[in-house]
Amino acid sequence: MYRKRLLAATNIFGELLITAGVLVLLFLAWQLWVNNALVASSQLNRVAQNSQHWSTGAATDPTTDDFGKPPVLAHVGKGETIGNLYVPRLGAASTRAVAESVDPHMSLNRGYFGHYSSSQWPGQAGNFALAVHRSGWGTGFAQAQLLRTGDRIYLETATGYYGYTVRNIEYVKPTSVDVLNAVPGTTRSAVAGQSILTITTCSPQDGNVERLVTYAVLDSWRPRSAGPFSDLAPLMKKA
Amino acid sequence: MYAALWRILPGPTWARVTMLVAGAVIVVTLLMMFVFPAIDDFISSTDPAVN
């Protein structure tokens, strides 16, 4: 009798363990594929909606590339949309919206690039610093290691298009907050006319022990009335 | 546990299998729609930000 009860209890315990194992696998499947795909597709919709909402209908005007100094982008509140970030090297499907704050609930876990509120803004002397997931949460930045010096990154906003060129990439410790400084990696104050884009993401791809940091320099600007950069227009159609 | 569940369910084998599959689909859907999103914040530790 005692033996039989013990056997039944062991059976139930074993089944509970198997159930727990299945639950963990289901959770991983949700995180890596289900949620990832859902968030990614809602981001692509959002990107297209933003583009449409800001649209002036202007086609690319090739007559000039010089529209003067990029204006400082108007600040927005936490959780609000700043723009759409296009990374041609990673393809149109990698496009994601940018939102204010790096709070996971407000931006990162909803697939956005999140703007470090302590850093500066596009067009402003200093550092426009963003964070983005590298795996899961609908990220478009999983293949960030493919970015090379000279690659273009575009920020589409309500007022125009900011064009950045990748300067370098760097692997740092998760505590290296100095990459967010006005002149990244230093304690110097912002250099007039130098506006940097810094993107921090996880490294290794599914890990948490390092950060992959991509630095790009703002070197061009087009108002919405002039239409997008010629190599940005096809990406916007596909996104 | 699962043996007991099998015994409790009424009907022939095909009916029990159908009920169990339907039950599993419902459970997995509820997990993915409500439970996993709710516990994600407590479980996941990957943080792409520097801090």
Is residue B34 domain-resident?
Answer: yes
Is residue B33 domain-resident?
Answer: yes
Tokens for A203, please give them. 């490294």
Is residue B28 domain-resident?
Answer: yes
How do residues B10-51 score in pLDDT, each as one tens digit?
Answer: 999 999 999 999 999 999 999 999 999 989 878 876 788 888
Does A114 touch chain B if contact means CB atoms closer than 8 Å?
A: yes
Is residue A233 domain-resident?
Answer: yes
Is residue A3 domain-resident?
Answer: no
Beta pairing class for A126-131 and A195-203: parallel
Is residue A20 domain-resident?
Answer: no
Please give chain A's pLDDT, 239 residues, in tens. Answer: 788 899 989 999 999 999 999 999 999 999 989 999 999 999 999 999 999 999 887 777 777 778 989 999 999 999 999 999 999 999 999 999 999 999 988 999 999 999 999 999 999 999 999 999 999 899 999 999 999 999 999 999 999 999 999 999 999 999 999 999 999 999 999 999 999 999 999 999 888 899 999 999 999 999 999 999 999 999 998 76
Does A198 touch chain B if contact means CB atoms closer than 8 Å?
A: no
Is residue B7 domain-resident?
Answer: no
One-letter amino acid for residue A78 of the chain: K
Triad A102, A204, A149: Cα angle to 5°: 80
B40: nearest CA partner in chain A: A31
Q: Which domain holds residue A87?
A: 53-238
Is residue B6 domain-resident?
Answer: no
Distance, in Å, from the CA atom of A11 to the CA atom of A139, rounded to the nearest integer, reads: 42
> B49–A109: do the CB atoms touch at under 8 Å?
no
Interface probe with B: pick from A17, A22, A31, most Cβ of B within 10 Å: A31
Compute, in degrees rounded to 10, the torsion defined by CA atoms A173, A91, A40, A77: 70
Is residue A45 domain-resident?
Answer: no
> B48–A179: do the CB atoms touch at under 8 Å?
no
Is residue A149 domain-resident?
Answer: yes
Is residue B50 domain-resident?
Answer: no
Is residue A14 domain-resident?
Answer: no
Q: With DSSP H G I counted as helix, E B as strand and the rest as coil, what are the percentages for chain A, rounded to 5?
A: 35, 25, 40
Q: Which domain holds residue B20?
A: 15-39
> What are the helix (H) ranges across A121-165?
none
> B48–A132: do the CB atoms touch at under 8 Å?
yes
Does A135 touch chain B if contact means CB atoms closer than 8 Å?
A: yes
ipTM > 0.85 for the complex: yes
Instruction: Look at chain A and report how many structural domains it folds into.
Output: 1
CATH code of residue A92: 2.40.260.10
Instruction: Look at chain B and report how many structural domains it folds into.
Output: 1
Is residue B29 domain-resident?
Answer: yes
Chain A hits for B2, CB-CB cut-off 8 Å, are: 15
Chain B hits for A206, CB-CB cut-off 8 Å, are: 46
Does A14 touch chain B if contact means CB atoms closer than 8 Å?
A: no
